[in-house]
Amino acid sequence: MDLHEQLKDIKTQLRLSMNGAVSQSMREKGLVYKLNFGVELPRIKMIAEGYEKDHSLAQALWKEDIRECKILAGMLQPIDSFFPEIADIWVESIQNIEIAELTSMNLFQHLPYAPAKSFQWIADEREYIQTCGFLTIARLLMKKGDMNERTANEFLDQAVCAFLTGSYHVRNAVMAAIRRFMQHSEEHAFRVCRRVEEMEHAETEIEQLLYNLVRYEVE
């Protein structure tokens, strides 16, 4: 099949698998898409397995303003042709937490330049770019687990700042990354505790929240 036929075939499979109740539930939870078939993730993965990874197909799917197409794009995009400039274009177009989480898991964490790119993203003030950066770092820490001294300091500086000033989704992504960092070693856990210890009696609720979340991880 050519690209046009592949897209048509995928959309047909999505329509046949649509679930209006799931779609409605997502809308009620704030996950808004131009078009959402409500297809559940296991079924989307089954559809993806019917196709070879293909750059042109993945790019075409990403351009569709359809939930399932964007998820499939992250699954079908080959790593070797996904250049840093394209990664920036994709991440700048992400508008909700579901696509941020799934694209970070299915694609961003596997990129050879993911460590450098994720640190570039966490320094960005835009909500979902920051979110993708911390989600990708969390995934990298799950696989690799360690950072050198300078990188760890930069990570903790950015993480604390983003938690204190960021949105709900940014804070959740930050804590996912901090949690993985702390789980690597007692030394890492100690470093995070030292970073937040003075927040125990802070005047702001957000600082106390960070302190309590870190304390919970230690306990």
**Distance from C-alpha of 67 to C-alpha of 5, rounded to nearest angstrom:** 19
Query: pLDDT at residue 212 above 90?
Result: yes
Question: Chain-centre distance of CA 121, in angstroms?
Answer: 11
**Distance from C-alpha of 60 to C-alpha of 146, rounded to nearest angstrom:** 36
**Per-residue pLDDT, 127:** 97
Report the chain's mean pLDDT, rounded to a whole number. 95
Query: pLDDT at residue 85 above 80?
Result: yes
DSSP assignment of 16-68: HT--HHHHHHHHHTT---SB-----HHHHHHHHTTS---HHHHHHHHHS-BHH
Query: pLDDT at residue 104 above 90?
Result: yes
Angle, helix 3-16 to helix 55-63, in steps of 10 degrees? 50
Contacts of 164 (CB under 8 A, 6+ apart): 204, 206, 207, 210
3-state secondary structure of 213: helix
Predicted structure pTM score = 0.93
By percentage, how much of the chain surpasses pLDDT 90? 87
Which amino acid is present at 95? Answer: Q
Per-domain residue ranges of the chain: 1-78, 97-218
